[in-house]
Amino acid sequence: MTADLVIMNGKVITIDSKDYVAEAAAVEAGRIVTVGSSRDIERLIGKTTIRIDLKGKTVTPGLIDTHAHFAHSGINQVYVLDLRYPKVKSIVEAIKLVKTQIEKTQRGRWVQGAGWDEALFDEKRCITRWDLDSVSPDHPVILQHTSGHYIVVNTYALNLAKVTKDTPQPKGGTIVKDPNTSEPNGVLIEPAAMDIVRNLLPPWTIEEAETGIKKAQELFLAEGITTVKDPGADDITLAAYKNLRKHGELKIRTYLLYTVDSFTNAEKAIKLLTKGGDDYLKLGGLKIFLDGSGMGRTAWVREDWNKNFTDKDTGNRGYSVIQLEEFRRMVKVGHRAGFQIGVHAIGDRAVDEALSAYEAVLAEAPRKDARHSIIHAILPTSIALEKMEKLGSSVVVETQSPFLYFIGDNYAGNFGPERSKRLIPLRSMLKRRITVGNGSDWSVCPFPPRFGLWGAVARKTWKGLYGLQPFGTEESITVREALRTYTVMAAKCLFMEDVIGSIEPGKYADFAVWSDDLYTVPVEALKDLRVEMTIVGSEIVYHDPSSNINVTAKLEI
């Protein structure tokens, strides 16, 4: 046998059960056939074999992001104004960018932006309608917060939506109002409130969604990500994904959850959707929101939220964004239909309720290896961790260690000094053998896994507003353990551990080639690593032109 492709003369971190480190691997028809020394692999080189000389570089399995709003964030990359820190450091700078965009937009058309974070603004407050009104008298404006759980709109948009000081608060959402005048200040929290305005936006077209997905794919592949779990699929993006797969343009493996917000919609989705697919595009289950965000202090917690780290937001413990009885019915109908369920649960109360719902449906209708997920699981209690351990493969966790860095200053200020120590308890979860898949929640955070690897080890925040390590280091894990949350354990969250997640014979040849050795570089250097080449199923889908990696055919040697 001769191989189609070989990688040689490197450090191949296999992530197998023994964490074996090899020098080379051979690939035939997109699958790994041999892993071993460069000498072992040489005998498989034929006249048409593509040979990649790694020149000592480190290779890992292709990385897996278990929670990224891939399609919608890709669309934002192309069509929506970027308001992220450090590009935008103040409200003044944000308003200038909005003004520039308005000058290029036809009167009466929507202007959209995303990515702002008040914790990182110089003013340390939210943008309001009055900030926007100064530059937007003739355009509706909507700016989404980086968390995705609240927006700010201008007066023009509020008028279109008929939101006034007399508009009642929606269940599971908040229209923020000025305490002195009761006038809405333009900030709308959680979908129940946001949708009052968002439903007025013209929907993206399938073609725009395809463009966004291709943009996201280009960005992710350049960071060594070969598989993504998109929890925000809807009818438009699902059609776009299918079109790209049909025409051979989907180069990243994609596992989808279809978002449902009511029992009626859950029943409808189950009847209309076909579960399954292939190893490039697969619909696996349903996504349900249970609580809000840690950044907006709307996640459902058991004790009052903090403000500014040590102050108390007295009386505020967040809330469920859906009635509990309806939520439980949604979990039940999805479970009985054989779907994987992913529940957004950030606060400790929400995590408890999600686990209780899973326990109930598993007891009533046992299903081996269900792998229902707790998405985020930011603040699980020790009792919740015990339940997860007992539930075994029935439950997985899909968390985001980049949160600790990119939104850590906001999180620390809201969770306070005591709760911060047990946020994203990776050490405790791994000690209990809970399956943990890591990710970015893009575009809440930048997506490169190097940030998540570093965040899991260092647990430091971006600006250090409440100290660089308000989360402590008791829940830190090693880079070897962190890498497993992006590879072999992440693959289990997608029911794909038999085909991806490690470099072993029989699995797909999904590789990431790094600029340095993840196992030996100083911890602080992890976040600055570069991916120099990405391979998916033996196809080179990204190659850094500045890299010295040689790619040759045998005939050229």
Average pLDDT on 242-250 reads 98
What is the DSSP annotation of 417-456?
A: HHHHTTSS-HHHHHHTT--EE---TTTTS---HHHHHHHH
The whole-angstrom distance between residue 354's C-alpha and the CA centroid of its chain comes to 19
Predicted confidence (pLDDT) per residue in 137-192, tens digit: 999 999 999 999 999 999 999 999 999 999 999 999 999 999 999 999 999 999 99
The whole-angstrom distance between residue 128's C-alpha and the CA centroid of its chain comes to 27
Predicted confidence (pLDDT) per residue in 181-203, tens digit: 999 999 999 999 999 999 999 99
| pLDDT score, position 257 | 98
| pLDDT score, position 98 | 98
Residue 210 has pLDDT above 90, yes or no: yes
Q: Which token pair is 478?
A: 């090693």
| pLDDT score, position 1 | 80
| pLDDT score, position 438 | 98
| pLDDT score, position 556 | 55
Residue 211 has pLDDT above 90, yes or no: yes
Q: Angle 348-364/324-336 helices, nearest 10 degrees?
A: 40
Q: Which amino acid is at 24?
A: A
The pairing of strands 58-61 and 11-13 is parallel
Average pLDDT on 326-332 reads 98
Classify residue 120 by its DSSP letter. Answer: G
CATH class of this structure's domain 5-62+506-556: mainly beta
The whole-chain average pLDDT of the chain stands at 97
Spell out the domain ranges in the chain: 5-62+506-556, 80-198
Out of 3.90.1150.10, 3.10.310.70, 3.60.20.10, 3.65.10.10, the CATH code matching 80-198 is 3.10.310.70
Percent residues over pLDDT 90 in the chain? 99
CA dist 427 and 435 (Å) reads: 12
- Tell me the pTM: 0.96
Q: How many CB atoms lie within 10 A of CB 533?
A: 23
CA dist 414 and 307 (Å) reads: 5
For the chain, the first-to-last Cα distance in angstroms comes to 20
| pLDDT score, position 557 | 46
